[in-house]
Amino acid sequence: MAKLCSQISIHLTENVLEMLHKRKIFTVLDFLHEDPEKLVYISKLPYKEILQIRHTIIANTSAFPQKGINVYNDLVTNSALIATGIQSLDTMLQGGLLTGSLYELCGFSGSGKTQLCLTVATNVTQYLKQQVHYVDAKLDFSGRRVQAMLESRGCDEELIGEVMEKIKVTRIQDVFQLFSFLHSLKERLQHEQDERSGVRLIIIDSLPTIFFPFLGETHSGGFGLMNHLASTMKYIAQEFHIAFLLVNFATRWHGDVAPGDDDENDDGSSDVSETIKPTLGKYWLHVPSTRLFLEKKSKSDEVVISVIKSTRIKVGKLCSVVISSRGVE
């Protein structure tokens, strides 16, 4: 929050600021929250000048008002459902990935999270002709796997080249490189109309890989980084009508809850049986708008996908997919 200073108003002289500071009024928010009559008493300024300062602060720091109908029309015009190209999954998601939203794939190791990401990226570029930004934090993106999927579908070399060219892979090794990518993308989207219209999906595989160094009792800065990341992704998703597909790990706890969690569930019930929780802790639980849990059947290529959190889809819905040479189907 901006501090009170003489640049805000000519009435805020050094003497006036000193008197305000003695009463612990340091920021513009402190000034606006205080009763005007009390400010008159503290600052010795006329009531009219106090109102002028308040008006100047509000005019210079408030967001520009927008008509609700304009915001609604923009949302209706630009929002879209991005079909994943996987029929059973699209049916469960009521058409696909809704732009402006954050989706999370959560599951144990080997449950098919990366295979699903590669398939969705391939389908969106092949069938919808849209660019996909694929952020590879595990450094294991497989262009050969994408090529093999397209060859299994009978695509010729020209189409394979076109599809793979539309998958923009960015390899990162830490959270700061992720921030650099997101802020750079945001600037391009703000200034380049062609870039904005061509990007509908951003995939990040995976978040725990870059956040593990900041988690734990000795690294309190991890929560600040998570908050900044969540705010940045939500801004990009909503401002430019883009869907995010995020990969998270799952942990399994037997007989007790995860460290740092309370002994009660969110619904207030006590649970001492097996508990499955997404990694990254309680703060991150509420960041994605929809969380999908992937569980691979033993000795099978079948994967069951269930909705365990969502703001628009009924929790508990299930669908089954199969991992094949063509991708996830």
Q: Are residues 144 and 27 both part of a single domain?
A: no
Residue 3 covered by a domain: no
Lowest mean pLDDT among 11-25, 69-83, 117-131, 254-268: 254-268
Residue 322 covered by a domain: yes
Q: Are residues 48 and 122 both part of a single domain?
A: no
Structure-model confidence comparison of residues 220 and 162, the more confident one: 162
Q: Are residues 100 and 32 both part of a single domain?
A: no
Instruction: Convert 6-41 into a string of H (helix), E (strand) and C (coil).
Output: CCCCCCCCHHHHHHHHHCCCCEHHHHHHCCHHHHHH
Domain count, the chain: 2
Q: If you ran DSSP here, which 8-state letter would residue 80 be given?
A: -
- Please state, in angstroms and as integers, the Cα–Cα distance from residue 128 to each residue in 121, 202, 204, 242, following that order: 10, 14, 20, 14
Lowest mean pLDDT among 32-41, 180-189, 250-259, 316-325: 250-259
pLDDT at 7 over 70: yes
What percent of the chain shows pLDDT beyond 90? Answer: 56
Q: Are residues 243 and 181 both part of a single domain?
A: yes
Residue 6 covered by a domain: no
Q: Radius of gyration over alpha carbons of the chain, in Å?
A: 25
Structure-model confidence comparison of residues 105 and 22, the more confident one: 105
**Res. 25 pLDDT band, cuts 50 70 90:** confident
Residue 194 covered by a domain: yes
Lowest mean pLDDT among 84-88, 129-133, 208-212: 208-212
pLDDT in the model for residue 216: 63
Q: Are residues 42 and 79 both part of a single domain?
A: no
Quote the CA–CA distance of 102 and 99 in Å, as a whole number. 8
Q: If you ran DSSP here, which 8-state letter would residue 309 be given?
A: E
pLDDT at 293 over 90: yes
What is the residue-averaged pLDDT of the chain?
86
Q: Are residues 43 and 164 both part of a single domain?
A: no
Residue 8 covered by a domain: no
Q: Are residues 144 and 52 both part of a single domain?
A: no
**Res. 259 pLDDT band, cuts 50 70 90:** very low
Residue 176 covered by a domain: yes
Q: Transcribe 205-252 into DSSP letters.
A: E-HHHHHGGG-STT-THHHHHHHHHHHHHHHHHHHHT-EEEEEEEEEE
pLDDT at 264 over 50: no
The C-alpha angle 132, 133, 138, rounded to 5 degrees, equals: 125
Domain that holds residue 246: 68-328
Q: Are residues 133 and 195 both part of a single domain?
A: yes
Q: Are residues 225 and 132 both part of a single domain?
A: yes
Quote the CA–CA distance of 213 and 217 in Å, as a whole number. 11
List, for residues 88-112, the tens digit of each pLDDT value. Answer: 999 999 999 999 999 999 999 999 9
Identify the sign of the CA torsion 171, 175, 178, 184: negative
Q: Are residues 32 and 84 both part of a single domain?
A: no
pTM: 0.74
| Cβ burial 291-306 (10 Å sphere, 16+ → b, else e) | bbbbbbeeeeeebebb
pLDDT in the model for residue 271: 43
Residue 7 covered by a domain: no
CATH code of the domain in which 116 resides:
3.40.50.300
Lowest mean pLDDT among 112-116, 123-127, 215-219: 215-219
Q: Are residues 28 and 134 both part of a single domain?
A: no
Residue 319 covered by a domain: yes
pLDDT in the model for residue 269: 38
Q: Which two tokens stand for residue 88?
A: 């059973």
Hey, which residues does 328 pair with through a beta bridge? Answer: 323
pLDDT in the model for residue 262: 47
Q: Are residues 50 and 129 both part of a single domain?
A: no
What percent of the chain shows pLDDT beyond 70? Answer: 86
Instruction: Convert 199-217 into a string of H (helix), E (strand) and C (coil).
Output: EEEEEEECHHHHHHHHCCC
The residue among 25, 46, 61 that closes a domain is: 61
List, for residues 165-214, the tens digit of each pLDDT value. Answer: 999 999 999 999 999 999 999 999 988 765 555 789 999 999 999 988 87
